[in-house]
Amino acid sequence: MKLKITFIFFTFLCLDLLGQTHFIPKGEGSSLFNESQFPCLTHLERNTIKTLLNENIELLKSQNNLFSNNNQNRGNHPLFIWPVQQATGFSYNNTWAVSGYVDHNTGYPNQLTDYNCGNRSYDTSAGYNHQGLDIYLWPFSWKQMDDGQTEIIAAAPGQIIAKGDGQYDRSCSFNNNPWNAVYIQHSDGSIAWYGHMKNGSVTTKNVGEMVALGEVLGVVGSSGNSTGPHLHFEVYTDDSFAQLIDPFAGSCNSLNGNDTWWETQNPYNNSGINAMLTHNAAPDIFPPCPTTETPNISNNFETDDTIYFAAYFRDQVAGETINFKVIKPDNSFLYNWDINASETSSSWYYYWYFTGVYDQEGEWKWQATYGGETVTHTFNIGTLSVEEHVNAGVMIYPNPVQNELTLKNVENIQTATIHDITGKQINSWLLTGNDQHAIDLSGISKGLYFLSLEGKNKKEVIKFIKK
């Protein structure tokens, strides 16, 4: 997959006749994956994989260990769940976008028809028509890969019939390298290929072992013929590999027509918000491949800081309205404005920055509404101690904290509970009645949290930062 980058920069604002402030973005842009139309697999690589799979299937049969054969379960095909998910401990609203569907037009080059009769696919002048679903990471794809933020999961339960790991995973071009992958056969005999995984992330289960629905198979990477972290998901009806399947039902699906293989089929244009983030400097979104991005994400500021407000969208459609709000701690609006999307793109971002306008300390909100959803990001403005924090006699330190938070003067406190900025309870502890108590925070992600302390006729809430 190759990345095409478009940047548009503006540095001013205007007022409409009704007095509503509309801000022209200080920065916006899109990414277009696989502009050069590189195949995820060459003809030789695909045939090599098919040979390997058939050999493994025959071996499992000889061992009387082939699930679909032993259990005589062939029949209705599976209904897939979406094959990627955000790993525990991360907080984007979503982490991916679709760059290409199966190409149903056998002509080439640039003769494209996807299942919905559109052209969200690709072919090559050598005669390759895209044979799978490509799901790429967005935003900050290389950082997501490095952090293991987006996992590849089993779209249906089944048996591992082959897998491969140990291959270089920071590919930026067509290179004929093998990919890291897992191949699952389902009870009806159909087979799903999961390719381009991160090196070292592939499931430790062996060929012949079973996987459950939603079980983690690996992490999205960029191994093999790839120009960015993405999953290539390819499905066949059986081990003859004569019949490719496009899991999406549609009037131009020449393979299985209106028979969806999804438990819940996503819309063709699955418009939505992947992330709302605040930054202490302009985010470095598209460094040279395969350099890891520098997001410059921050959730804690002082009143005189310059704050960058960024929004990251998938399947943006030109002409549709997006609403943005910057909301003060008292729930009044600092700014509330609409924009109309200027371009259709599978991924798009906007950012603005403001200085000298933050007149309240406390918890602020950065919010967008688009594609039928509203996403709110919470951040803090004002003095939040980075030294010891004293509140009505109770002391916590250090703050910010890395792995262990110490509570002092808590002999009259019975319970300690941590909530995140959305109000979700993260953990709770019963205290021993001692003057001092240590809490292990190594298992929670970075961010702003609230520590609630309760005892007889006593309740306190203290903010702290996990760094």
Instruction: Annotate 48-116 with DSSP letters as a single string.
Output: HHHHHHHHHHHHHHHTT--HHHHTT--SSPP-BPPSEEEPTT---S--EEEEE--------SS----TT
What is the model's pLDDT at position 113?
98
What is the model's pLDDT at position 175?
87
The answer to whether the predicted template modeling score (pTM) of the entire model surpasses 0.75 is: yes
Residue 343 phi/psi, 5° resolution?
-140, 155
Per CATH, domain 389-466 is 2.60.40.3080: yes
When the candidates are 2.60.40.1930, 3.30.750.24, 3.40.50.300, 3.40.50.620, the CATH number that belongs to 4-32+270-381 is 2.60.40.1930
- Is 389-466 in the same CATH topology as 4-32+270-381? yes
| Strand-strand pairing, 404-408 and 436-440 | antiparallel
- Give the residues of the chain that fall short of pLDDT 70: 1-22, 32-37, 68-75, 383-393, 422, 456-458
What is the model's pLDDT at position 380?
93
Q: Structural domain boundaries of the chain?
A: 4-32+270-381, 43-245, 389-466
What is the model's pLDDT at position 153?
98
CATH H-level, domain 43-245: superfamily = Glucose Permease (Domain IIA) (2.70.70.10)
What is the model's pLDDT at position 446?
84
Tokens of 387: 């030294």
Owner of token pair 């590919």: 171
| Strand-strand pairing, 306-316 and 244-245 | unpaired
What is the model's pLDDT at position 133?
98
**H or E element in which residue 427 lies:** strand 425-430
**H or E element in which residue 351 lies:** strand 345-355
Give the C-alpha distances (Å, rounded to integers) separating 269 from 162, 265, 272: 33, 11, 9
Give the C-alpha distances (Å, rounded to integers) separating 186 from 73, 153, 160, 264, 417: 9, 14, 9, 18, 44
